[in-house]
């Protein structure tokens, strides 16, 4: 039934069909991957410019300073623009498309033994919608109004009157639509296209986390789409969804009907944006699980608890959102409710992290590059998670809200957290995607400095936050007396940031070099158990596998007593 020349009834595809508008999930996954990595690089550069300003206020920005005016120094609106766009681009154009669009699309069909996603054309549509949304978002930099500058959170009333928001909102509508199409596809694919014998409790953790993540995207994004439409109407149609009566701007009463509520935006926004942060972390947790099992040569400890915790986490993520709103005056009843649910949601995260730590005990650990990143993820995510606790408790959040403490907290989770896991995934699955291995030497040259400098950037943020330095300050806190004791950290953090950027060079070189001269890889270089390794490297166009796939085993049968090898693939009977 399977044969290598599977173009039997497929017409010969031309270049456009094969590489541009392909419906093959592997091509689409790579398209997502390349696009999102470029956006990540761009978003990083925005931050690097900001960090120069913070370290050396009033001095000319090197190399690109001319963009910002004659003096080459950032004006505060420009700083705010960079800040808002850094957040927006990293989250919506970078991490989510990489974690879900790239990794999800490429690997889910392979891990479940399917030939493609359930809806290949919809898949292509979701990529191109993302692409268009990304172009629109970036185009805002070139508009006369400039790019958005009201934070990635886009709070009204400021965002209704500030520049750059209209394009931001339109772009978000495209990006949200892309996400919806993609996540629908993933859910149907996992439910319907699992190979014979692949029961739910035999699914690899990567697939489980993609599944739960997709539910979060499907149910949580639409309220933000609704809110974006409402804000767009406030800007363009003169409505007052988010504008209260009696609003005064520059000393004058604003000429709108009023009666609206800025809090409405915050509720609708955070209803998405909280599940969104679990969208950012769940795929990473899945990737780390795969790599830990593989490089300890042991099954993951507590597979079942991890699965139940992941599902519970997904469910709880919908009812914690107002912990971002403790300081809005919403009242004690609300605060008490959301504080409680927030404390409860920390439990499944702890279960998962603890299970991963326990999985290391007694393992035969191989310290290859993917494993280094996966191992580093664990304490980094631990720091990120623990620093979230004082934020989730209303009383301590009163002090810490909107300070650098928050920035430190969430960056620990996303940067040396999720991004490290994504790096791990790239090193791990590169042989499957390309048929070649990446250099271990360059991999370690990438890993060690990245780990050091990540901590260099984000650890001092807790110090600054605890001293009371607010976030989103274009002058970095210079005008506040209470900040004076901690501002010397700015230079340290900025230099760490620039060095972090330099540390990515081995990674970029590694990718390009290995594509052409990397050591050729067989189909299962890491001796892994999961189904994607049963396909050739790279998998066959359109059909993936060159033999029938039936599943007989759970996902992580490593070091099974009595077996010949230290691993038994899922497909082996």
Partner 1 sequence: MEIPYVVEEREDTGLINSKLGIWIFLASEVMLFGGLFSAYIFLRTAALPGDFERWASELSVPMATVNTMVLISSSVSMVMAWASLKMKDFSKYKMYLGLTILCSFIFLTIKYFEYSGKFSHDIYPSSNTFMAIYFTLTGLHVLHIIGGVVVMLYFYLPISHSMWEKQPEQFTNRIEVFGLYWHFVDLVWIFLFPVLYLL
Partner 2 sequence: MSDNHNSASMQNHIRIYLMVFGALGVLTIITVLASYLNLSTSEGIFLALIIASVKASLVLGYFMHLISERKLIIWILLITVFFFFVMIFLPLISNIDHAGDPAQWWEVI
The four Cα atoms 192, 198, 200, 206 give a dihedral, to 10 degrees, of: -90
Cα angle for residues 371, 560, 375 (degrees, 5° grid): 15
Output the DSSP codes for 301-348.
TTHHHHHHHHHHHHHHGGG-GGGG-GGG---HHHHHHHHHHHHHHHHH
Q: Which stretch binds partner 1 (CB under 8 A): 1-9, 137-145, 158-166, 362-370?
A: 1-9
x/- mask, partner 1, residues 218-247, rule CB under 8 A, reads xxxxxxxxxx-xx--x---xxxxx------
Q: At its nearest, how many Å lie between partner 1 and the CB of residue 284?
A: 24
Which of partner 1, partner 2, none has residue 221 at its interface (CB below 5 to 8 Å by kind)?
A: partner 1
Token pair recorded at residue 345: 């949601």
Q: Which stretch binds partner 1 (CB under 8 A): 148-156, 186-194, 280-288, 355-363?
A: 186-194
Closer residue to partner 1 (CB): 123 or 510? 123
Which of partner 2, partner 1, none has residue 225 at its interface (CB below 5 to 8 Å by kind)?
A: partner 1
Q: Which stretch binds partner 1 (CB under 8 A): 131-139, 261-269, 298-306, 507-515?
A: 261-269
Which of partner 1, partner 2, none has residue 531 at its interface (CB below 5 to 8 Å by kind)?
A: none
Q: Does 170 bind partner 1 (CB under 8 A)?
A: no
Tokens 């149910």, residue located: 219
Q: At its nearest, how many Å lie between partner 2 and the CB of residue 267?
A: 5
Q: How many CB atoms lie within 10 A of CB 559?
A: 17
Q: Does 539 bind partner 1 (CB under 8 A)?
A: no
Strand partners for 540: 544
Strand partners for 544: 540
Task: Tell me 115's DSSP state.
Answer: S
Which of partner 1, partner 2, none has residue 239 at its interface (CB below 5 to 8 Å by kind)?
A: partner 1
Q: Which of 138, 173, 254, 264 binds partner 1 (CB under 8 A)?
A: 264
Which of partner 1, partner 2, none has residue 119 at its interface (CB below 5 to 8 Å by kind)?
A: partner 1
The four Cα atoms 124, 128, 134, 139 give a dihedral, to 10 degrees, of: 170
Q: At its nearest, how many Å lie between partner 1 and the CB of residue 209?
A: 18
Binding to partner 1 (CB under 8 A) within 9-28 occurs at none
Q: Does 118 bind partner 1 (CB under 8 A)?
A: yes
Q: At its nearest, how many Å lie between partner 1 and the CB of residue 264?
A: 5
Helix (H, G, I), strand (E, B) or coil at 84: helix
Radius of gyration of the chain (CA): 24
In sequence order, the 6+-apart residues with CB closer than 8 A to the CB of 572 are: 552, 553
Closer residue to partner 1 (CB): 52 or 241? 241
In sequence order, the 6+-apart residues with CB closer than 8 A to the CB of 561 are: none
Q: At its nearest, how many Å lie between partner 2 and the CB of residue 269?
A: 12
Positions in the binding site for partner 2 (CB under 8 A): 191, 219, 223, 245-246, 263, 267, 271, 318-319, 322, 330-334, 337
In sequence order, the 6+-apart residues with CB closer than 8 A to the CB of 148 are: 81, 84, 85, 88, 140, 154, 159, 162, 163, 164, 165, 167, 168
Q: Is the dihedral of CA 530, 534, 537, 539 positive or negative?
A: negative
Helix (H, G, I), strand (E, B) or coil at 190: helix
Q: How is the chain split among helix, strand and coil, in percent rounded to 5? A: 65, 0, 30
Residue 471 C-alpha from the chain's centroid: 21
Which of partner 1, partner 2, none has residue 192 at its interface (CB below 5 to 8 Å by kind)?
A: partner 1
Q: Are 177 and 112 within 8 A, CB to CB? A: no
Q: Does 330 bind partner 1 (CB under 8 A)?
A: no
Q: How many CB atoms lie within 10 A of CB 225?
A: 18
- How far apart (Å, rounded) are the C-alpha atoms in residues 347 and 516? 46
Q: Does 188 bind partner 1 (CB under 8 A)?
A: yes
Q: At its nearest, how many Å lie between partner 2 and the CB of residue 312?
A: 13
Cα angle for residues 152, 250, 54 (degrees, 5° grid): 45
Q: Which of 41, 64, 75, 257 binds partner 1 (CB under 8 A)?
A: 257
Q: Which stretch binds partner 1 (CB under 8 A): 64-72, 84-92, 150-158, 250-258?
A: 250-258
Q: At its nearest, how many Å lie between partner 2 and the CB of residue 274?
A: 12
Which of partner 1, partner 2, none has residue 542 at its interface (CB below 5 to 8 Å by kind)?
A: partner 1
Which is nearest to 446 in space by CA: 501, 494, 497?
Answer: 501
Stated length of the chain: 573
Closer residue to partner 1 (CB): 191 or 452? 191
Q: Which stretch binds partner 1 (CB under 8 A): 32-40, 187-195, 343-351, 520-528?
A: 187-195
Closer residue to partner 1 (CB): 259 or 362? 259
Which of partner 1, partner 2, none has residue 131 at its interface (CB below 5 to 8 Å by kind)?
A: none
Q: Does 120 bind partner 1 (CB under 8 A)?
A: yes
Closer residue to partner 1 (CB): 115 or 351? 115
Which of partner 1, partner 2, none has residue 246 at its interface (CB below 5 to 8 Å by kind)?
A: partner 2
Q: At its nearest, how many Å lie between partner 1 and the CB of residue 229?
A: 7
Q: At its nearest, how many Å lie between partner 2 and the CB of residue 337?
A: 6
Which is nearest to 443 in space by CA: 424, 457, 418?
Answer: 424
Q: Residues interacting with partner 1, by CB under 8 A?
A: 1-2, 6, 114-116, 118-120, 180, 184-185, 187-188, 191-193, 218-227, 229-230, 233, 237-241, 256-261, 263-264, 267-268, 271, 542-543
């Amino acid at each position: 039934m399977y044969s290598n020349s599977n173009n039997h009834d497929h017409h010969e595809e031309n270049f456009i069909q094969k590489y541009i508008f392909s419906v093959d999930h592997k091509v689409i996954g790579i398209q997502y991957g390349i696009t999102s990595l470029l956006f990540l690089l761009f978003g990083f550069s925005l931050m690097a410019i900001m960090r120069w300003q913070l370290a050396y206020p009033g001095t000319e920005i090197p190399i690109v300073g001319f963009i910002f005016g004659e003096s080459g120094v950032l004006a505060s609106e420009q700083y705010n623009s960079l800040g808002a766009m850094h957040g927006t681009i990293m989250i919506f154009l970078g991490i989510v498309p990489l974690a879900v669009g790239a990794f999800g699309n490429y690997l889910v069909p392979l891990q479940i033994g399917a030939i493609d996603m359930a809806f290949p054309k919809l898949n292509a549509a979701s990529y191109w919608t993302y692409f268009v949304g990304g172009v629109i978002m970036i185009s805002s930099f070139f508009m006369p109004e400039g790019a958005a500058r009201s934070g990635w959170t886009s709070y009204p009333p400021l965002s209704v009157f500030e520049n750059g928001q209209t394009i931001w909102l339109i772009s978000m509508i495209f990006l949200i639509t892309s996400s919806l199409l993609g996540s629908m596809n993933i859910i149907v694919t996992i439910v319907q296209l699992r190979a014979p014998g692949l029961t739910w409790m035999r699914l690899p953790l990567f697939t489980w986390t993609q599944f739960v993540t997709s539910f979060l995207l499907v149910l949580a994004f639409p309220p933000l789409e609704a809110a974006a439409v409402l804000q767009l109407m406030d800007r363009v149609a003169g409505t007052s969804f988010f504008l209260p009566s009696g609003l005064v701007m520059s000393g004058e009463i604003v000429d709108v009907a009023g009666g609206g509520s800025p809090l409405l935006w915050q509720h609708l926004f955070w209803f998405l944006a909280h599940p969104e942060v679990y969208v950012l972390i769940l795929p990473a947790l899945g990737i780390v699980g795969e790599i830990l099992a593989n490089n300890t040569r042991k099954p993951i400890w507590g597979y079942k608890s991890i699965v139940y915790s992941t599902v519970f986490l997904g469910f709880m993520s919908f009812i914690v959102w107002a912990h971002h709103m403790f300081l809005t005056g919403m009242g004690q009843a609300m605060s008490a409710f959301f504080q409680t649910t927030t404390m409860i949601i920390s439990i499944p995260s702890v279960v998962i992290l603890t299970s991963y730590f326990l999985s290391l005990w007694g393992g035969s650990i191989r310290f290859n590059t993917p494993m280094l990143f996966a191992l580093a993820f664990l304490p980094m995510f631990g720091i990120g998670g623990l620093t979230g606790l004082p934020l989730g408790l209303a009383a301590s959040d009163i002090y810490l809200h909107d300070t650098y403490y928050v920035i430190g907290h969430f960056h620990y989770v996303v940067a040396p957290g999720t991004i490290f896991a994504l790096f791990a995934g790239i090193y791990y699955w590169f042989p499957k995607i390309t048929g070649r291995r990446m250099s271990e030497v360059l991999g370690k040259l990438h890993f060690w400095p990245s780990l050091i400098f990540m901590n260099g950037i984000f650890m001092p943020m807790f110090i600054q936050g605890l001293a009371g330095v607010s976030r989103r300050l274009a002058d970095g806190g210079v005008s506040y007396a209470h900040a004076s004791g901690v501002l010397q950290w700015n230079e340290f953090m900025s230099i760490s940031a620039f060095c972090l950027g330099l540390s990515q060079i081995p990674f970029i070189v590694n990718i390009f070099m290995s594509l052409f001269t990397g050591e050729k890889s067989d189909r299962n270089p890491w001796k892994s158990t999961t189904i994607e390794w049963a396909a050739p490297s790279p998998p066959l166009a359109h059909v993936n596998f060159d033999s029938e796939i039936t599943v007989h085993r759970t996902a992580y049968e490593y070091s099974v007593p009595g077996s010949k090898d230290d691993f038994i693939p899922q497909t082996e009977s």
